[in-house]
C-alpha cells in the first residue's frame, strides 16, 4: 500500500474484518498498536467490505476513505448438492439415527472462534449432549489445546470428535442437525452462508452484524452458555426454507457479478501523497 502511494498508483483494499480502536484506558502497548493500525488504515484510496456494519467501523478508522460494499459469493454447490443427509453420514461413518449431530467448522482459535466455549458448554450440560456427536472440523494454533481438553475430560471424550482440516466441508454440514458458530467476533463468516444454503440451521453468537443475516431464534448472547445449548437443540425446528431461498438470491453469482460491476465502475478518488503521508506521521505520534 505504501509503495502504491509513493508511485501515485490507485490502491483499493478488500477488507472483510475491521479492528476496533483501543480504548483510552487500554495498556500502552495496545494503544500504540492501535495508532499504528490507524495510520495503516489511511493508506488505501478506497476500501471494499462486506456490509454496512463493517463500513461504519471503517469510517471510525479511516473517515476520509470511501468504502464500497460487495457481499460474498458462495459456490452454488452448497444449495444445489445432490448429497443427502443419509449419504453424507454414511460417507463419514456417522450413525443414521439415534444421535444428534452438531458441527463447528472453522479455524481452531479460542480467542476468535471459541471452540473452548463450546467445550465448556458441553461440560456444563452433559445430559443434553448424552446422545450427541459434536464434530469439530478445522485446524489452527489451538488445535493441540483442543485435543488435550477433549482427551482430559470424560464428558468431552464421549461425544466430541476432532476431525482436523478438510478440503470440502459440505458433507459435514449436510450430515449435521445443526452447525454452531460461537465466535467472539466475526465479519461475514462463509460457514454461516454455506450452512443456510445447504438447508442446515446455524446457531451463532450475537456479535457484529450477524443479526442482519440470521433470525433471533438462531442467535444467542455471546457469553451465555445456557442460551447457547438451548438454541443448539431447538434450532432444527426453525423453519429455514425462507431464509435459504433468500440467501440463494443474496449470495448468488449473479448478485455478486452485478455488485462487482457497480463497485468497479465507480471512479476512485485521488489524494495528494504528501498530505496523506503527513497524516500518517501524525497518527503514529512522531510528527
| C-alpha–C-alpha distance, residues 21 and 192, integer Å | 26
100 Cβ partners below 8 Å, 6+ apart?
Answer: 131, 132, 133, 177, 233
| CATH number for position 162 | 3.40.50.2000
The range of the structural domain enclosing residue 171 comes to 77-245
Q: Are residues 11 and 25 in the same domain?
A: yes
Q: Are residues 94 and 54 in the same domain?
A: no
More confident: 158 or 280: 158
pLDDT tens-place string over residues 195-224: 999 999 999 999 988 999 999 999 999 999
Strand, coil or helix: 181 = strand
CA–CA distances in Å: residue 198 to residues 41, 100, 244 = 36, 18, 8
Q: Are residues 159 and 238 in the same domain?
A: yes
What phi, psi does 144 have (nearest 5°)? -65, -40
pLDDT tens-place string over residues 5-45: 889 888 899 999 898 888 888 899 999 999 999 999 999 99
pLDDT tens-place string over residues 234-279: 999 999 999 999 999 999 999 999 999 988 887 876 554 444 444 4
Q: Are residues 272 and 176 in the same domain?
A: no
Domain count, the chain: 2
Q: What is the pTM of this model?
A: 0.86
Q: Are residues 34 and 111 in the same domain?
A: no
Q: Are residues 17 and 142 in the same domain?
A: no
pLDDT tens-place string over residues 71-107: 989 988 999 999 999 999 999 999 999 999 999 999 9
Amino acid at each position: 500500500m505504501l509503495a502504491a502511494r509513493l508511485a501515485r498508483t490507485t490502491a483499493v483494499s478488500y477488507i472483510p474484518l475491521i479492528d476496533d480502536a483501543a480504548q483510552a484506558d487500554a495498556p500502552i502497548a495496545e494503544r500504540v498498536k492501535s495508532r499504528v493500525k490507524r495510520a495503516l488504515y489511511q493508506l488505501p484510496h478506497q476500501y471494499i467490505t462486506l456490509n454496512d456494519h463493517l463500513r461504519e467501523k471503517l469510517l471510525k478508522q479511516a473517515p476520509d476513505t470511501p468504502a464500497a460494499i460487495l457481499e460474498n459469493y458462495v459456490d452454488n454447490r452448497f444449495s444445489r448438492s445432490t448429497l443427502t443427509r443419509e449419504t453424507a453420514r454414511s460417507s463419514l461413518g456417522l450413525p443414521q439415527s439415534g444421535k444428534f449431530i452438531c458441527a463447528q467448522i472453522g479455524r481452531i482459535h479460542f480467542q476468535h472462534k471459541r471452540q473452548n466455549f463450546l467445550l465448556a458448554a458441553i461440560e456444563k450440560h452433559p445430559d443434553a449432549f448424552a446422545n450427541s456427536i459434536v464434530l469439530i472440523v478445522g485446524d489452527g494454533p489451538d488445535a493441540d489445546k483442543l485435543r488435550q481438553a477433549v482427551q482430559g475430560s470424560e464428558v468431552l471424550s464421549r461425544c466430541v470428535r476432532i476431525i482436523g482440516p478438510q478440503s470440502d466441508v459440505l458433507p459435514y454440514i449436510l450430515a449435521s442437525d445443526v452447525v454452531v458458530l460461537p465466535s467472539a467476533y466475526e465479519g461475514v463468516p462463509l460457514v454461516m452462508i454455506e450452512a443456510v444454503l445447504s438447508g442446515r440451521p446455524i446457531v451463532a453468537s450475537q456479535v457484529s452484524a450477524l443479526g442482519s443475516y440470521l433470525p433471533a431464534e438462531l442467535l444467542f448472547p455471546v457469553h451465555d452458555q445456557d442460551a447457547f445449548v438451548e438454541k443448539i437443540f431447538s434450532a432444527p425446528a426453525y423453519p429455514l426454507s425462507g431464509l435459504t431461498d433468500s440467501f440463494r438470491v443474496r449470495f448468488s453469482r449473479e448478485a455478486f457479478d452485478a455488485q462487482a460491476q457497480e463497485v468497479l465502475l465507480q471512479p476512485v478518488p485521488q489524494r495528494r501523497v504528501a498530505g496523506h503521508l503527513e497524516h500518517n506521521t501524525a497518527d503514529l505520534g512522531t510528527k
